[in-house]
C-alpha cells in the first residue's frame, strides 16, 4: 500500500484528461498508469496548475482532501481512514538456537560448487 505526496512541479499536465505537453510529464503520466496509481488532488495548488500531488494505489485511502491557501502558496490536507488490527507474528526464538551445530552444517556445504551454479 502506497501514498506519495509532494510538489511534483509538472504544470503542463492536465489531470482531467491525463495529457501533457512535455516528454517528462508524459513519462510521469505513464509511470502513474503503469503502476495503477490514482492522483487525488483536483484543485489548483499554484496559480492555475495542480503541482502538489497525492498519488496512491488505494483510492479510498485519501479522504476529505482540501486545498487551502493563496495562489502563491497552498497547503493540501487529507485524512486516511484505516482500521487497527492486532496481528500476532510468529518469530523464531534465536536464543534457543544451536549455533555450533549450525556452523558445523554450513561448513559441510560445498560452497564453491553451489555458487558456480
* pLDDT tens digit sequence for 19-45: 999 999 999 999 999 999 999 888 888
d(CA 67, CA 65): 7
| 83: helix, strand or coil | coil
**Choice between 8 and 92, residue whose per-residue pLDDT is larger:** 8
**Predicted local confidence at residue 96, as pLDDT:** 85
Structural contact between residues 56 and 3, judged by C-beta atoms closer than 8 angstroms:
yes
Amino acid at each position: 500500500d502506497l501514498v506519495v505526496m509532494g510538489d511534483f512541479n509538472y504544470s503542463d499536465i492536465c489531470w482531467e484528461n491525463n495529457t501533457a505537453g512535455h516528454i517528462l510529464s508524459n513519462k510521469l503520466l505513464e509511470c502513474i498508469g503503469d503502476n495503477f496509481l490514482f492522483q487525488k488532488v483536483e484543485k489548483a495548488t499554484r496559480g492555475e496548475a495542480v503541482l502538489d500531488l497525492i498519488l496512491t494505489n488505494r483510492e479510498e485511502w485519501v479522504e476529505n482532501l482540501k486545498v487551502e491557501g493563496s495562489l502563491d502558496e497552498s497547503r493540501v490536507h487529507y485524512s486516511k481512514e484505516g482500521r487497527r488490527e492486532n496481528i500476532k507474528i510468529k518469530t523464531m526464538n534465536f536464543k534457543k538456537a544451536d549455533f555450533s551445530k549450525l556452523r558445523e552444517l554450513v561448513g559441510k556445504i560445498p560452497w564453491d560448487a553451489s555458487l558456480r551454479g
